[in-house]
Amino acid sequence: MSAEPVRAAGGPTAGSRPMPVWTGEPSAVPGRPVSTWLRFFGSELRLVFGRLRNLALLGVLGAVPVLFGILFRLTMSSAEGPGGPAFLNQLAGNGVFLAVIVLELALTLLLLPLLTAVVSGDAIAGEAGHGTLRGLLIVPAGRTRLLAVKYVAIAVYCLAGCLLLAAMSLIMGLILFPAGPVTLLSGNTIPLSAGLLRVLVLALYAAAAMTSLGAIGLAASTLTQHPVGAIAGLLVLVVASEICDQLPSLSAIHPFLPTHFWLQWDGLFTSPTDWSSILHGLVSFAVYAAIFGAVAWARLTSADITS
Residues at the site binding other proteins, with contacts judged by CB under 8 A: 6-7, 9-15, 18-31, 35-36, 39-40, 42-43, 47, 50-52, 130-132, 134-142, 146, 302, 304-306
Give the nearer residue to other proteins in terms of CB position, either 11 or 83. Answer: 11
CB of 53 to other proteins, least distance (A): 9
CB of 295 to other proteins, least distance (A): 19
Give the nearer residue to other proteins in terms of CB position, either 231 or 238. Answer: 231
* DSSP SS3 for 132: helix
**Taken in order 223, 153, 201, 179, is the CA torsion positive or negative?**
negative
- According to DSSP H, which parts of the chain are helical? 33-50, 52-78, 88-91, 97-108, 111-130, 132-137, 143-176, 192-221, 227-246, 276-302
CB of 31 to other proteins, least distance (A): 6
CB of 218 to other proteins, least distance (A): 18
- d(C-alpha 164, C-alpha 119), whole Å: 16
- d(C-alpha 248, C-alpha 36), whole Å: 51
Give the nearer residue to other proteins in terms of CB position, either 13 or 188. Answer: 13
- d(C-alpha 71, C-alpha 23), whole Å: 64
Give the nearer residue to other proteins in terms of CB position, either 200 or 303. Answer: 303
Q: From residue 93, how far is each of 88, 228, 271, 305 by CA, in Å?
A: 10, 43, 18, 57
Give the nearer residue to other proteins in terms of CB position, either 41 or 171. Answer: 41
CB of 236 to other proteins, least distance (A): 28
